[in-house]
A and B are shown apart, each in its own frame.
Chain A
Amino acid sequence: MNHASHDGTEHPGTEQTGTIHNGTGKAVVFENVSLHFDELVVLDGLSFELEHGATKVLLGAAGSGKTTILKLTLGLLRPDGGRIFVLGQEVTAMRETELFELRRRIGMVFQESALFDSLSVEGNVAFRLLEEKVPEAEIHRRVLEALRFVELENTSTLFPAELSGGMRRRVAIARAIISNPEVLLYDSPTAGLDPVTSTTIVELLVKQRDEYKTSALLVTHRLQDAFTMATHRFGHEQNKMVLVPPGTNWDSKTSFLVLKDGKKIFEGSAAAIANSEDPYIREYMTA
């Protein structure tokens, strides 16, 4: 058994084969998952677990398979080998029609937001509720609540083309969280944004993690965002994220997973990755 750890232990070149378990009790479980596109190896025997309420930050160079992991989690892609469990259900054994029900319990923020450009902000955020035939008054209330969460309550009548990149990303977050999903998948939510907007987005992720205890997989290229997630908590009183002083007995439940050429080369805490001696990770951290 190769249990993915949260104890900060570094596993360079970790042996990734072997059964973990049937996925019960975990938010997400990848069990020896492999995927190839023609000759290109995207994932090579990847195994990891995501605990309920925890956040796992997926790091790695472009093309290392990070986004693919999110799409596999949702069942948008099928692996060539291995098993994937999400909320106790084996995604890899489910048909597309069966997956729609499970996907309603998962929220995803796409890298380019993927908002429906023919729908207004309100239409986008309300999409899932409209599908579930929720009463109109409740939809309106919950859309406003979600937009207030991302501080965009005055944009409900605008269309995606009228929004800035950062606003689109925040609307995408509102769309993902409106149905109170049990798992959130963020695909580079701060990519291409200015530092101020990026901080606003990260603050929203911290708020979602600490206020709603939602399990999350976060793909990012920005180490700064990843460390902010691990070292900050959302302060109720201040209504913003605050730095947790070093030495405080507080668990951010945020761990790191580094991929290289489709393989896991590290899994552990922020402190462990910061002190890693692995040459690739050192280079990645200092790039």
Chain B
Amino acid sequence: MLSWRGLANLFSQPRYLGDILQQMDTIGVGSLQIVVLTGFFTGAVLALQSANSLARFGALSFTGQLVSMSMVRELGPVLTSLMVAGRNASGMASELGSMQVTEQIDAMRALGTDPSRKLVTPRLTATMFMLFFLTILSDLVGLAGGSVIALLLLRLDLNEYWTSAWQTLRYADVFMGLIKPVLFGFIIATVGCYYGLSAKGGTQGVGRATTQAVVVASVLILAVDLFVTRLLMVLLGPL
């Protein structure tokens, strides 16, 4: 119900554009640091691990392809979403939870404002929108991390690395990698807002809601990832 109302609010007045932009700043710009760091180190370690295996078959030059496919289709969206879930689902649950237990949500309703419109819709919109771009950034930085390993440790030609990384990607791979963050953003925001607005029992209740939001959002992301991947494989054909 909450997620449905959160989305349906987008198609009727009033819309809180200022709140949406503020949430985009908090969720998107605020998560840049952890997303960049996570993407870089994931790409780097992926290059390191895959090179170790590929070298056994004399296929070290495929490192760029492997990093590219893994980051764009799977690790970029999933790890970025998990990082954003850890940072923002908890933030939403604790912020809205504090508002709930101090009667600020009731006060908002009493003042004639719909909390789902004022609080949930901006977070939902901002998370879905910003996670899309954060994932693109994470993919790029991950490939850069892989290229650093390829250059410094594997002594691969950078031009060859980037060319193979680029050429191996198909539209279906990119589509799969970019549809996921939109779905995961929806999960993060609805779970965070739901647990926040359901918080009971003072500060202890807020703490409990925060923990539950991160755990549930993370597990849901991983579970939905499996089903979405399978579904997209069926819909888009063998990848």
Mark A residues whose CB is within 8 Å of B: 71, 74, 76, 96-97, 100-101, 103-104, 106, 108, 110-112, 114-117, 127-128, 131, 175
User: CB distance A131 to B113 under 8 Å?
Assistant: yes
B223 within 8 A of A: no
**Beta-carbon contact of A112 and B111 below 8 Å:** no
Distance of A85 from chain B, by nearest CB (Å): 18
Which B residues are within 8 Å of any A CB, using their own CB? 14, 98-99, 102-104, 106-114
Which residues of chain A come closer than 8 Å to B108, judged between CB atoms? 116
Shortest beta-carbon distance from A21 to chain B in Å = 26
Closest to B105 in A: A114
CB pair B106 A71 closer than 8 Å: yes
Which of B99, B102, B110 is close to A74, meaning CB atoms less than 8 Å apart?
B110
Q: List 12 A-B residue pairs with CB atoms under 8 Å apart, sorted by A's residue number.
A: A76-B109, A76-B110, A97-B114, A100-B114, A101-B112, A103-B109, A110-B106, A114-B102, A114-B103, A114-B104, A115-B107, A131-B112
Min CB gap B123→A, angstroms: 14
Q: Closest 4 CB pairs between A and B?
A: A104-B112, A114-B107, A114-B103, A103-B112
A187 and chain B: residue at smallest CB distance = B103
Q: Are B112 and A110 in contact (CB under 8 A)?
A: no
Output the residue of B14, B104, B107 with the most chain A CB within 10 A: B107
Least CB distance from A14 to B in Å reads 29
CA distance A221 to B200 in the complex (A): 25
In the docked arrangement, what's the CA distance between A71 and B99, Å?
17
* Contact across chains for B110 and A106 when beta carbons are under 8 A apart: yes
Chain B residue contacts of A112, Cβ below 8 A: 102-103
Q: How far is the CB of A26 from chain B (nearest CB, A)?
A: 20
A101 to B112, CA, bound (A): 6
**Closest A-chain residue to B12, C-beta based?**
A97
Q: Give Cα distance in the complex from A131 to B108, angstroms.
A: 11
